[in-house]
Amino acid sequence: SNAPRKRVILSGIQPTGVPHLGNYFGALSNWVKLQREASADDELLFTIVGWHALTLPQDPKVLATARTDMLAFLLAIGLSPQKSIIFHQDHNPCHTELAWILNCLTPFGKLKRMTTWKARLADSRNANDESEVDESLLNAGLFTYPILQAADILVYRATHVPVGDDQTQHLELSRDIAQIFNQTFKNRLFPLPQQLNTPTKRILSLKDPSSKMSKSAPDTQSRILLTDTPAQIRAKIRGAVTDSIQGITYDPVARPGTANLLAILAACTNEDVTAVAERYRDKRHGDLKAGVVDAVEGVVRGPREEFERIRKEEGYLALVATEGAEKARALAEVTMRDVRKLVGL
């Protein structure tokens, strides 16, 4: 029939600490928007990818807490277990089962051409440059995690994946692997997942606007967390690097710090950045910063208060995780029954 195939949308986030404004505007707020705009036919899956977190060294206690924190944040920002399947990746063994099968189908050379593992390693070491990265720190998991990512997507036969440009290469690999599987077993089991382009709002460090806002930067004043109090937000924005040029203009090249503050304000108020710049044209940096403080607090307040409330409800969080995992496993099992049969297991 010509009926459009229903969309299956999947996205994941690592359980690595309290999300910052970059995570919020670069990924999480898009998830909420997707959920709001989804049609009744769409299937939405949002997963906390604990297995991916293990590709870098983790303190087990910290990781265990971070997993539950992230679940609470997903609910606090407005994702709903009634509308989306929200679950821990590691609650569904079908991901690793499929990943193994895909490992055995993926040419080694294809994987070697992936560049993101180097960036991830550099980032985790706070290296300035990928060439500073010591390859002896590369474990096999970090090398093959793009295949686990392909499995995360394909196990639900996802059709759409909302990811930033930094993940385009991985999504291409997922499509390649889907095609290899389909060709090898002469079956069209896996749809080729498409990148769902969501507005990419890149938020920069408040202290060094030549780099993005990141959880791993040593200066904690460089990022705003979704748990920050009004006083913390005020102090961080006041301390943000700007410039000594009079008046406010949006010029990311010549005035990256000022441009970043304008971009943050625009993201918070959902305005065009040039409109915000126009509004502040004859004002001073102090006025702009005051505006940014208010706008950021306006965005952070809801998630912060909801997180504080919901994080204490351990029983409820466990129930959400269990129910999410059951739904995810049921969907994945449908795929895996076909996969096992096709490969001869």
Provide the binding-site residues for ligand ADP, judged by CB under 6 A: 13-14, 16, 22-23, 25-27, 164, 166, 202-203, 212-216
Question: Quick check: 38 and 2 in contact, CB under 8 A?
Answer: no
To ligand ADP, the closest distance from the beta carbon of 264 in angstroms equals 10
How many whole angstroms separate alpha carbon 48 and alpha carbon 68?
9
Least Cα distance to 88 among 64, 61, 124 occurs for: 64
Angle between helices 94-103 and 140-154 (to 10 degrees): 110
To Na ion, the closest distance from the beta carbon of 52 in angstroms equals 12
Q: How far apart are the first and last CA of the chain?
A: 32
To ligand ADP, the closest distance from the beta carbon of 217 in angstroms equals 8
The residue number with the shortest CB distance to Na ion is 123
Site for Na ion in 182-201 (CB under 5 A): none
Give the tokens for residue 116: 């993101």
What strand order describes the sheet that includes 160-161?
85-88, 43-48, 8-13, 160-161, 194-195
Site map for Na ion, 110-129, x if CB under 5 A? -------------x------
The residue number with the shortest CB distance to ligand ADP is 26
Question: Quick check: 24 and 223 in contact, CB under 8 A?
Answer: no
For ligand ADP, give the closer residue by CB, 105 or 119.
119
To ligand ADP, the closest distance from the beta carbon of 109 in angstroms equals 26
To Na ion, the closest distance from the beta carbon of 216 in angstroms equals 5
With CB under 5 to 8 Å by kind, the binding choice for 42 among Na ion, ligand ADP, none is: none
Interface positions with Na ion (CB under 5 A): 123, 216
